[in-house]
């Protein structure tokens, strides 16, 4: 298969982790005789530095002309404590999601036996956890009307949803549940919010067409608690934009590190794959960032094009690296490996057909 992949490494550790994802994709391409053509483009703080715009037109054009986008990370501390900044790196990512119509953000969470003891949560609580968050990505409070009054004494953000926006991701989430454990949990705040009541109404209505899927409803405050109290109860979690953002960071604690969590952002005509972690500026250039989230995002990219064996190869290699403790400091306090070490191990492992060396 020939795939055109836009690379948007972005800020902080983004370029380092994307480099490892490319290494791994190249190993897959070599093994399975695919051609992956990459085109690099800038986004985020680095794009502001270069052009004044966090999402230059050129970047958007490259993305629109590609089959898929591999995204690194976004954000720079120089903007974080400057509430009056007019242009912010995050606007690049938000505009990209909106312009490409990437309405469904899919964030799977699984546990690795060899990491169970690394989580801050008790092994008996998290063992066997395997769920996926379907986060609505192009609407809600992120994209509603917002304003700061002229005197600077008042501000508002509006949360708005249309039934079209709710329905399209709800169908995707139900379809995912059908091929998983057939349970869907809608997380909302329908005891308070009108938008949440609309979500609940639509999900109840749509659930009638997916009668083999069990549906339940949780208020987001309770869901935040349930996620760490009893995470194995979840299969597919469906939620709006901001709740999904918050809950997915919380959920990463279950797997042991946010450096493990991959995501896919799917639209009608485009698809973007990105680790859920941020730009981790403290680690920039130190070769210590965990590349697994970016690499597992590349695996999701392959899944998207139905290259299932290829994606599975990556996941097996990742499991092996975890089993052998070939991991970065976030997962490994002794004898840790660098970002590049991990990428090298995975690409070697994928290309080592008989797995002669590493299985010994």
Q: Which residues are catalytic?
A: 142, 189, 221, 245, 249
Whole-number Å distance between alpha carbons of 329 and 288: 7
Which CB atom, from 16 or from 245, has the smaller least distance to Mn ion? 245
Which CB atom, from 69 or from 93, has the smaller least distance to ligand IPM? 93
Decide which of Mn ion, ligand IPM, none touches 93; Cβ closer than 5 to 8 Å per partner kind.
Answer: ligand IPM
Decide which of ligand IPM, Mn ion, none touches 21; Cβ closer than 5 to 8 Å per partner kind.
Answer: none
Give residues in contact with ligand IPM (CB under 6 A).
Answer: 74-75, 90, 93-94, 245, 276
| Beta carbons of 304 and 264 less than 8 angstroms apart | yes
Whole-number Å distance between alpha carbons of 15 and 37: 17
97 is in an annotated binding site: yes
Residue 57 phi, psi dihedral angles, 5° rounding? -55, -40
Decide which of ligand IPM, Mn ion, none touches 15; Cβ closer than 5 to 8 Å per partner kind.
Answer: none
Decide which of ligand IPM, Mn ion, none touches 224; Cβ closer than 5 to 8 Å per partner kind.
Answer: none
- Listed in sequence order, the DSSP H helices in the chain are 14-32, 45-51, 57-64, 77-80, 89-99, 123-126, 163-178, 194-207, 220-229, 241-255, 292-304, 308-323, 339-351
Whole-number Å distance between alpha carbons of 348 and 357: 10
Which CB atom, from 159 or from 307, has the smaller least distance to ligand IPM? 159
Q: For residue 180, give the DSSP letter.
A: T
Which CB atom, from 10 or from 310, has the smaller least distance to ligand IPM? 10
Whole-number Å distance between alpha carbons of 293 and 354: 26
The least CB distance from residue 245 to Mn ion, in Å, is 4
67 is in an annotated binding site: no
107 is in an annotated binding site: yes
The least CB distance from residue 98 to Mn ion, in Å, is 16
Residue matched to tokens 């769920």: 131
Contact between 188 and Mn ion by CB under 5 A: the answer reads no
Angle (nearest 5°) at CA 339 between 231 and 273: 55
Whole-number Å distance between alpha carbons of 277 and 255: 13
315 is in an annotated binding site: no
Q: How far apart are the first and last CA of the chain?
A: 33
Which CB atom, from 245 or from 310, has the smaller least distance to ligand IPM? 245
Task: Let me know how long the chain is.
Answer: 360
Ranges within 224-253 binding Mn ion (CB under 5 A) = 245
The least CB distance from residue 201 to Mn ion, in Å, is 27
The least CB distance from residue 243 to ligand IPM, in Å, is 11
Residue nearest to ligand IPM (CB): 90
State CA 64 to chain mean position distance.
20
Q: Binding-site residues for substrate, please?
A: 97, 107, 135, 221
Q: Binding-site residues, please?
A: 97, 107, 135, 221, 245, 249
Positions touching Mn ion (CB under 5 A) are 245
Q: Binding-site residues for Mg(2+), please?
A: 221, 245, 249
């Amino acid at each position: 298969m020939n795939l055109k992949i836009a690379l948007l490494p972005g800020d902080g550790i983004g370029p380092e982790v994307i480099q490892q994802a490319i290494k791994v994709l190249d190993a897959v391409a070599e093994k399975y005789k695919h051609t992956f053509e990459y085109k690099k483009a800038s986004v985020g703080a680095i794009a502001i530095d270069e052009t004044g715009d966090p999402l230059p037109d050129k970047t958007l054009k490259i993305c629109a002309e590609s089959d898929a986008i591999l995204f690194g990370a976004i954000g720079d501390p120089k903007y974080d404590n400057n509430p009056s900044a007019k242009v912010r790196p995050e606007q690049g990512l938000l505009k990209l999601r909106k312009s490409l119509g990437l309405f469904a953000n899919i964030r799977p969470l699984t546990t690795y036996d060899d990491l169970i003891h690394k989580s801050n949560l008790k092994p008996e609580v998290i063992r066997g956890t395997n769920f996926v968050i379907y986060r609505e990505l192009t609407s809600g409070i992120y994209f509603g009307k917002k304003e700061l009054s002229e005197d600077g004494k008042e501000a508002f953000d509006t949360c708005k949803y249309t039934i079209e926006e709710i329905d399209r991701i709800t169908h995707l989430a139900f379809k995912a549940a059908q091929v998983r454990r057939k349970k869907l949990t809608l997380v909302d705040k329908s005891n308070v919010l009108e938008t949440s009541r609309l979500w609940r109404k639509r999900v109840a209505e749509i659930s009638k067409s997916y009668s083999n899927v069990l549906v339940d409803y949780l208020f987001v405050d309770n869901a935040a608690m349930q996620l760490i109290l009893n995470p194995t109860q979840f299969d597919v979690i469906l939620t709006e934009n901001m709740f999904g953002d918050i809950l997915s960071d919380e959920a990463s604690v279950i797997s042991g590190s946010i450096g493990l969590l991959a995501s896919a952002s799917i639209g009608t005509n485009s698809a973007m794959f990105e680790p859920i972690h941020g730009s981790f500026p403290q680690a920039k250039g130190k070769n210590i960032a965990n590349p697994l989230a970016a690499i597992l995002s590349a695996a999701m990219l392959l899944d998207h094009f139905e290259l299932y064996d290829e994606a599975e190869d990556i996941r097996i290699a990742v499991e092996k690296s975890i089993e052998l403790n070939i991991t970065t400091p976030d997962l490994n306090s002794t004898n840790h490996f660098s970002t590049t070490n991990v990428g090298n191990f995975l690409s070697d492992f994928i290309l080592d057909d008989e797995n002669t060396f590493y299985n010994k």
